[in-house]
Amino acid sequence: MDELHYYFVVKQDLLDGTFQLSLSSYAPFRDDRTTFPFDSEIDAALYMLDEFRHGAIVSSNDVEIAKAIIRGEKPMFVYEEKQSDGTLLLSLHDSLPPEESTIVAFGSRSANLLARFFMRRLHENKRIRATEETIRQAQALMD
């Protein structure tokens, strides 16, 4: 059973009678949502992009993530690690941190979105920092 995965497109009914689609790795069940299961991420991404082309409301982030899935991008993560001086060190990785670590991780299938998040986070506060090499890596991912 551990190797059995499903991917979902969630249709959320909006108050004005329209709906919005989003990608999800879990199946939310609520009265205002319909969940469509797929056997692969690519199938879910293709379905959502097709609906988007036909006028469905989809967030720009979900469109970018769907395109990244189709391009075969692997998940990437920003680690936020508290340092002894109270600062937070940001770094980029291709896997989740060990379960026993205290690192906070943010992930995305879109390297571009994750790099933009990294840069935004870096500039939010003077106590957040990253190495020059990691900053260059994030800038390259945004190109």
pLDDT tens digits, 9-62: 999 988 888 899 999 888 878 887 899 999 999 999 999 999 999 999 999 999
pLDDT confidence of residue 2: 45
Task: Report the C-alpha gap between 25 and 9 in whole angstroms.
Answer: 9
Give this prediction's pTM.
Answer: 0.81
Domains of the chain by residue range: 7-71, 76-142
pLDDT tens digits, 78-126: 999 999 999 999 999 999 999 899 999 999 989 999 999 999 999 999 9
